[in-house]
C-alpha cells in the first residue's frame, strides 16, 4: 500500500468506528430495549458470548487478526439451487451467448434509481449484442414495476441525427432561434375528426347556445378531484344557462364514475369516455376546459376552440403559457381553483370574441401551411435515408465548451487587456503631467 491508500484506510476505519459507537450501538439496542428489557446491551452480550457467528466467508472477507471466538459461517442462509421456473429456464437455455443478472436486493430496488442511472443501465444493455460474433448477451434485470424504461436520447446521438422531429407547432410554440435540423411535426398524433357517435351527436347538435368540453386527460381524472373543487365546477356549470338570452350552454364532462355530482343539472352530460378530438371539431363547441397536456392543446388549437387552461404538472404550465401568449387561452392557477375563478375564466373566453377570432385564425394558419405534417415527415425521412448524416446542418457551437460557447475565453482576455491598456495609459498621462508640473515649478524657482 502506498501512503494515500493507508491514509484512506485509516480515515475509513476511524469514521466507521465513530459511527459504530455513536449511531449503530443505539440503533441496534433499540429493539432489544423495546422487546426484551430496557437495560439490555447487545454489545455487552456479544462480549460475554462463547462464540460469535459471523455471516462472512474467510476466503472472501478482508484478512485481519481475529480471536478464536469469531466463527465465520458465510453462506448459512443460502439455499441449494433449485430447478428454474419455466419462464426463466426458457430464457437461460436460449442464452447461448451468455447471460447477465442485474439485481440490487430487496432494499435498494432498481425502480428507485434516478432516470440518469436507469438510462446508463439501458445504454449498457443496448451495447452488448456486439460482444459475441454469433449470439447476443441476455440480460435479466430485477426491476420491481412494469413501466417503460425509455433511454433519454444522448446529446451525441441527437447531434448525429440528420433531422430531429419535435412534437410542437411553430405557430403555437414560443419563437426562438433553432437550427435547420429541427423539424416541427406538431399534430402528427392527432387523427382527423370522425363522425360523432349517436349519443354525442344528439347532444352537440342540440347545443345551439354552444357547448363546453371539460376533460383533464387519462391521468388527472375528474373523479379524483377534491369535493371542494367538484363543487366549484358544479357551481360554474349551474351559472351558465344565463349567459345566452335564448339558449343554455351545454357541458360535456369527462367524469370517470357514476355518482350524483351535477346530476340535477339538465345542461350537463357526464361520460366516462369521450371522443375528445371529434367533439372539439363540432361547430357548436365553444370552449375547452383542460389541464394543458400537449396533445389536448394541439387538438383544441387545430379545431379553433378557445381554452381554459388549468395546468397540473410536468410541461403543462409551459404549454398553458404558450397558448395564453397566442390569445387563445385563459390560464387558471390550480391553487386558486374557486367557483368564482372558474366562472370568470369561462365567461372571458365565451364573451370576449377576440379569443374565438384568435383561435380560428390560428387554426386556419396551421391548416394552410405549405406542407402538411405528414408530407414533412415523409420528405425529411426520405432525404435522411438517402444522404444519412448531413454535416452541413451541424452547428459548430455544439462542439464548444461553456467558456467557448459564451465567448468567455475571448471576452475575458480582451477586458483584461483593455483594462491594462487603460491603466497604463492613465499612469503615463499622470507621469507626463507630473513631469511638466515638476519642470514648471523648477523654472519658477530659478526665476
pLDDT tens-digit series, residues 210-239: 999 999 988 888 998 999 999 999 999 988
Q: Distance between CA 103 and CA 91 in Å, rounded?
A: 17
Q: Distance between CA 379 and CA 158 in Å, rounded?
A: 19
Count other Cβ atoms within 10 Å, centred on residue 60.
9
Question: Would you state the cell numbers that stand for residue 112, as one nine-digit string?
Answer: 428507485
Instruction: Give the residue among 324, 394, 398, 385 at the shortest CA–CA distance from 359.
Output: 324
pLDDT band at 245 (very low <50, low <70, confident <90, very high): very low
What's the confidence (pLDDT) of residue 24?
67
pLDDT at 287 over 80: yes
Residues 181-187: what's their mean pLDDT?
Answer: 90
pLDDT tens-digit series, residues 105-161: 877 888 888 888 888 888 888 777 654 444 567 888 888 777 665 444 455 667 778
Mean pLDDT over all residues of the chain? 85
pLDDT at 381 over 90: yes
pTM for this prediction: 0.59
Q: For the chain, what percent of residues have pLDDT higher than 90? A: 40
What's the confidence (pLDDT) of residue 148?
60
What's the confidence (pLDDT) of residue 156?
62
What's the confidence (pLDDT) of residue 132?
45
Query: What count of Cα atoms within 13 Å lies in the side-chain half-sphere of residue 429?
Result: 6
What's the confidence (pLDDT) of residue 149?
55
Instruction: Give the residue among 372, 385, 396 at the shortest CA–CA distance from 161.
Output: 385
Angle of CA points 321, 343, 324, to nearest 5°:
15
Q: In what order do the strands lie in the sheet with 307-309?
A: 268-271, 250-254, 211-215, 285-290, 307-309, 329-331
What's the confidence (pLDDT) of residue 447?
60
Flag the least confident range among 15-19, 222-226, 240-244, 371-375.
240-244
Flag the least confident range among 178-192, 195-209, 239-253.
239-253
What's the confidence (pLDDT) of residue 332?
95
Instruction: Give the residue among 216, 214, 366 at the shortest CA–CA distance from 302.
Output: 366
What's the confidence (pLDDT) of residue 246?
42
pLDDT band at 290 (very low <50, low <70, confident <90, very high): very high
Do 307 and 316 touch, CB atoms closer than 8 A? no
Amino acid at each position: 500500500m502506498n501512503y494515500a491508500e493507508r491514509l484512506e484506510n485509516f480515515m475509513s476505519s476511524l469514521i466507521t468506528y465513530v459511527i459504530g459507537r455513536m449511531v449503530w450501538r443505539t440503533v441496534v439496542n433499540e429493539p432489544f430495549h423495546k422487546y426484551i428489557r430496557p437495560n439490555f446491551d447487545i454489545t455487552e452480550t456479544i462480549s460475554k458470548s462463547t462464540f460469535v457467528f459471523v455471516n462472512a466467508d474467510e476466503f472472501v472477507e478482508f484478512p485481519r487478526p481475529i480471536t478464536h471466538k469469531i466463527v465465520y459461517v458465510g453462506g448459512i442462509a443460502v439455499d441449494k439451487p433449485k430447478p428454474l421456473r419455466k419462464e426463466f429456464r426458457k430464457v437461460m437455455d436460449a442464452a447461448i451467448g451468455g447471460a447477465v443478472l442485474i439485481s440490487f436486493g430487496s432494499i435498494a430496488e432498481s425502480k428507485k434509481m434516478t432516470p440518469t442511472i436507469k438510462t446508463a443501465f439501458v445504454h449498457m444493455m443496448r451495447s452488448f449484442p456486439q460482444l459475441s460474433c454469433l449470439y447476443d448477451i441476455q440480460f435479466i434485470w430485477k426491476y420491481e414495476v412494469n413501466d417503460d424504461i425509455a433511454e433519454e436520447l444522448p446529446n451525441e446521438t441527437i447531434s448525429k441525427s440528420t433531422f430531429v422531429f419535435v412534437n410542437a407547432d411553430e405557430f403555437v410554440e414560443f419563437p426562438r432561434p433553432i437550427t435547420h435540423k429541427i423539424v416541427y411535426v406538431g399534430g402528427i398524433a392527432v387523427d382527423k375528426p370522425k363522425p360523432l357517435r349517436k349519443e354525442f351527436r344528439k347532444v352537440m347538435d342540440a347545443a345551439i347556445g354552444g357547448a363546453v368540453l371539460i376533460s383533464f386527460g387519462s391521468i388527472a381524472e375528474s373523479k379524483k378531484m377534491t369535493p371542494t373543487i367538484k363543487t366549484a365546477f358544479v357551481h360554474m356549470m349551474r351559472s351558465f344557462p344565463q349567459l345566452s338570452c335564448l339558449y343554455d350552454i351545454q357541458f360535456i364532462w369527462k367524469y370517470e364514475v357514476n355518482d350524483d355530482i351535477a346530476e340535477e343539472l339538465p345542461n350537463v352530460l357526464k361520460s366516462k369516455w369521450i371522443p375528445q378530438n371529434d367533439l372539439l371539431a363540432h361547430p357548436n363547441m365553444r370552449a375547452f376546459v383542460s389541464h394543458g397536456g400537449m396533445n389536448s392543446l394541439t387538438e383544441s388549437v387545430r379545431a379553433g376552440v378557445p381554452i381554459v387552461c388549468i395546468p397540473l404538472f410536468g410541461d403543462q404550465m409551459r404549454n398553458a403559457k404558450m397558448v395564453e401568449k397566442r390569445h387563445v387561452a385563459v390560464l387558471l392557477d390550480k391553487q386558486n381553483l374557486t367557483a368564482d375563478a372558474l366562472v370568470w375564466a369561462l365567461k372571458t373566453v365565451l364573451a370576449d370574441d377576440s379569443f374565438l377570432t384568435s383561435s380560428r385564425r390560428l387554426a386556419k394558419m396551421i391548416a394552410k401551411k405549405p406542407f402538411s405534417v405528414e408530407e414533412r415527415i415523409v420528405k425529411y425521412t426520405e432525404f435522411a435515408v438517402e444522404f444519412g448524416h448531413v454535416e452541413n446542418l451541424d452547428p459548430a457551437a455544439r462542439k464548444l465548451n461553456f467558456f467557448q460557447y459564451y465567448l468567455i475565453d475571448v471576452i475575458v482576455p480582451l477586458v483584461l487587456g483593455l483594462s491594462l491598456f487603460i491603466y497604463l495609459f492613465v499612469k503615463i498621462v499622470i507621469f507626463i503631467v507630473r513631469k511638466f508640473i515638476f519642470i514648471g515649478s523648477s523654472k519658477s524657482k530659478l526665476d
